[in-house]
Structure 1
Amino acid sequence: MQQRVAVVLGTRPEAIKLAPLIREFREDPRFRPVVISTGQHRELLDQVLPGFGIRPDLDLGVKRTSHSLAELTGAVLGGLDRALERIAPDAVVAHGDTTTTLGASLAAFYRRVPLVHVEAGLRSGNRWAPYPEEFNRRVTALAANLHLAPTPHARQNLLAEGVDPATVVVTGNTVIDAMRDTLARADGWHDPRLTVLDDDPRRVLLLTVHRRESWGDPLRHIAGAVAETADRHPDMLVVACLHANPAVRAMLLPVLRDRPNVLTVPPQPYPTFLRLIRRAHLVVTDSGGVQEECTGLGKPLLVLRDVTERQEAVTAGGARLVGTDPDRVRTEIELLWTDRQLHEAMAAAVGPYGDGRAAPRCAAAVARLLGLTDGPVPEYHLTPATEGSYR
């Protein structure tokens, strides 16, 4: 009998990172995947899902009237509770640390349905940063029956919290699987404004900032630091991918627009965004997933946070944690822009997040959880031969 597995997603990163696992479930006759979308980030989600050939089986159509996390959490939890009652899955799969993840973990726990947590074990050590993600993933760990950790470091975080080692499997990160699939079919620029990059000789600084804990003056000061640095370097072209959130755009646009060497664009389809990373000389970001993608593509990056749950990229040497102080941001950009030896060393850092085969490992672990097999599940071990680089 096929095992019905509810795969819950609601944001662009969840869609990207769960797409390889959904494909594995679809191709395995033992599983019947049911894809549930909360619609947490409607516009970005609708942009990315068709590229992976995914159409949700159930769309909750969560509506938001404010930026209240309490309102969003209540809507997601209520919608998922009704969905699980209707579907009666054998397991629920949730990813990462979003409000959708939190809602899925609570809904599964309340209905006593086994929960599988993909990208488990990430920890910053500060429950307020990133906010609310650090809290979300810790709660999800309490509810999870199976923890699919992307790295050995993530596994150690879980064991340090008392998680049963028998429930933890190191799989690698599915984002490397998604990158491999996407880069194999990426061609052209989706946004005509980006076609200038084909002939422009300037080096590109790619900027993405949106973290909730940096809203207000920190975001404006970061944008100002980047723009002022660009003013001093005629060979620099800043490409700023602005978040779809109107509040974030309102903070950044007044600082970045109408500058000769700053190009602002809306969120780009995933293939185009990966092309942007490849084209960039340096990436400056506060995003979590971009830290993984840049390390896999051999692009040095500056992380605009005081702490990161993806310490592996920093330890490997591919990323530098610089915080949000504008003077520090200026200094670090100047350093990487002018120090060729440092730039080359960071670009050569080993990608610690996977080998492109995380999704099959995840599916094998779920099969064992559901009693479909009793054999061992292969785990991911980082070696020079398996580093997740698609450079």
Structure 2
Amino acid sequence: MGPQVDPVPEDDSRPDSADVVIIGGGIIGVSAALFLAKSGVSVALCEKGYIAGEQSSRNWGWCRRMGRDPRELPLIVEALKLWPQMEELTGTDVGFRRSGILYLCENDADIAHQENWLKIAGDHALDTHIIDGAALSALMPGATRSYRAALYTPSDGRAEPQKAAPAIARAARRAGAHILANCAVREIETTGGRISGVVTEKGAIRTGTVIIAGGAWSSHLCGSLGIRLPQLVVRASVMRTGPVEGGPDNAAWGRNLAYRKRLDGGYTIADGMLNYHHIVPGSFRYLSDFLPMLMQDWRMVRLRAGMDFFTGPFGLKPSTDPDQTVYEQHRTLDPMPATARLDEVHRKMEEVFPLLKGAPVLQRWAGFIDTTPDAVPVISPVQSLPGLVIATGFSGHGFGIGPAAGRLAANLATGDSPIVDPKPFRYERFIDGTKPRPTTGV
């Protein structure tokens, strides 16, 4: 079962119409709703389950510039301007702290890899630099293992996934947005070749603009409109401990382990490398799109075959109830965590930080990460269907970039000046013959 998420009260009524309808109540969708509502646009957000029920509450909680694909750097710079404002914008402490992030290097090859990122990032690297020796040891109090060096960004930080999106959703409602939980969109309607409305399980909403911010569900939603969106999902597992005294206050990534200090004093811990992909029909449909990434990152993804191919949420026959869509059948994706793998990661963490021994493991969970063939999101209008904007495929780095990505989606939905150049995130790159340029990000 996923982590407990701060509640968001449901709206009592569904509007008959809205300027913009957003599908998906993750951090991207609620951020778009907030900025639209604050600019006077009428907006209705429809979430089939509860706000932040899926990956927006299940991620590591990192807010990082470091290690990103160069195409994302301008957007994360804007996001890191918004995160410090989040408590004022929402009236809630969402746990954002500029506590710094480390990418740990075990050998010369690791150091060379991180130095290459510094060259690519250029001016966007800002305060990122290589550290070693005593400077690195000071950032890892309690560690009994030393590392050759680390890439370090003091201005990167962390926030609490279980608090952030719900707080933004509540702020969006106060600004005038309708936040409709347990309200699946069954159909996106078109008239005369453009968006004209949505049909939800609670009734229809007329609109000229729809933002699909459905995370793992976005490709399925686009497919219902005849739009090919190459997107697959990988299963990532996470655990959290009880409070620990004396450990590092920052976050770090290393081979086979990653950690983040939590606002409650415990640690979020995960495998730094390995995720799982469950083979579904889309795995074959988009094989040619994802093959370059699979060949590059084959050590980081393990394939799993099973009944998911037939009866899973993205399988051949995901729904058997004629009165319910697949979105209602699967209100919240809640996959089982890779418990054995997490136990191994926990042992490695205790070897590096013996002070973690005895700290209780309070919870383990997993989530489905929506990925694109180049690991860069789609934040884009669709030229073939006026009124449709897609904001998805954040490939495991959507939480930190979320507020700015939502703002960009809102800009594109209304035709306002975009917060950054949206060209790197255009949907058409997947259908116009552009070859994907995948990056690992670390």
Q: Which structure ranks higher in relative contact order (CA pairs < 8 Å, sequence separation ≥ 6)? A: 2
The structure carrying a bigger helix percent of its residues is 1
Whichever structure has more strand as a proportion of its residues is 2
Q: Same fold (TM over 0.5)?
A: no
Q: Structure 2 length as normaliser, TM-score?
A: 0.22
